[in-house]
Amino acid sequence: MTAFLYWLKLGFISFGGPAGQISMMHTELVERRRWISEHRFLHALNYTMVLPGPEAQQLATYIGWLMHGTLGGIMAGTLFVLPSLAILMGLTWVYLVYGDTPLVAGILYGIKPAVTAIVVFAAYRIGSRALRNGALWALAAAAFIAIFALNVPFPYIVLSAAIIGYIGGRVAPDRFRTGGGHGASAGSYGPALIDDSSPVPHWARFSWKSTAVHFMAGLAIWILAEGALYLAYGWQGPLTQMGWFFTKAALVTFGGAYAVLPYVYQGGVEHHQWLTGTQMIDGLALGETTPGPLIMVVAFVGFVGGWTLEIFGPDSLLLAGAAGASVATLFTFLPSFLFILIGAPAVEATRHDIKFTAPLTGITAAVVGVVINLAVFFAWHVLWPEGTQAAPFSGRFEWFSLLITIGAFFALWRYKVGIIPVLGICSAVGLVYSLLV
């Protein structure tokens, strides 16, 4: 019960993106409660960092699994997500129903340029760690050109970067060598429940039988869920397509939520037309203001898609939105659970630090270019809200939005202000300005 209450609490307070969420878990689990040692915590973190998907949620799943087995892992990972899903569905409903009111429109006016600054800052942070030489800079530039000018789909960019990284790791290993992720700490906080010398519990021992059982269970859940949607709505049904699309998205999320957003944009906005580009920006703004992994923006995409397409008719829009959000969340996070429940026993068996490989170094470099493209996309929609593909710089230029963007970036970069305070201040500024003009 103690563990259940902690994971539930974490689901409601896990603001600040993956770095903040990992920091929260380290402070509580390693330093205060002493449930797990520093070494075992970092060992789990190193593994989750090389996986596609939200690393903080996967870290929670890993620690829950290590403490209480499969059910413990499912409980920790699920409670990390459920509060965010409920809050985001409520906010999305408010956005769709009351988004045009002066109060909500004014708040969003201030939040949108702040989100642009946050994405630019994310590109800066990833780039400052990842682009350590000319080869990686060139790979980032190529990724930007590929997605910005050539409209190359995001999975192809990931695959190409991985191949380049693999070849580069063999031809010029020094240029594709990485140096850790979030960093390690040599601090010691006393004996832990799961200490460095604690024996591996029986459920954490690797066995082919356990691996097969977890894999088949996960595959069965996916087949039953997607199969039920197929039987009910056909392959071209919106919910069926959401299940298939977000499954693919879950497998290419190397580099975190900011990296997968262009893929979600390409599919959700351009291909399936579940929502507009402006709504995508608004969704990221809402995602930044809610607890849980930022990749929960997929719930917003699913909600708006179900609502817009009126999949259950014009009188059941809320139900349609909730169904879309639930489907998007299920198919996005199901692979994350499988990565832990299947791979973690092998990791515990080796107990060696898992480093980024050369292919992942290439992917990380490409992610920088992709995130910069996302920042350009957001800036264009925010600064030229009336622009179109045919006339990208038509209509009025939002100079005040530019000032908010610059101010938010400097607050994040120069003064190290947290994301939530920045969003709060910018939303207040936007509201006041919109009411005055």
Domain boundaries, the chain: 2-178+207-436
Residue 186 pLDDT class (50, 70, 90 cuts): very low
In this structure, the number of other CB atoms found within 10 A of the CB of residue 231 comes to: 10
When mean pLDDT is compared across 59-68, 383-392, 403-412, the lowest value belongs to 383-392
Q: What is the pLDDT of residues 85-117, one digit of tens each?
A: 999 999 999 999 987 788 888 888 898 898 888
Q: Per-residue pLDDT tens for 388-417?
A: 767 788 888 999 999 999 999 999 888 888
Q: Are 319 and 110 in contact (CB under 8 A)?
A: no
Look at residue 144 and tell me whether its pLDDT is greater than 60. yes
Two tokens, residue 97: 């129903």
Q: Which of 371, 341, 424, 406 is nearest to 68 (CA)?
A: 341
SS3 216: helix
Task: Round to whole Å and give the CA distance between 289 and 299.
Answer: 14
**pLDDT (0 to 100) of residue 188:** 59
Range scoring the smallest mean pLDDT among 124-133, 256-265, 365-374, 425-434: 256-265
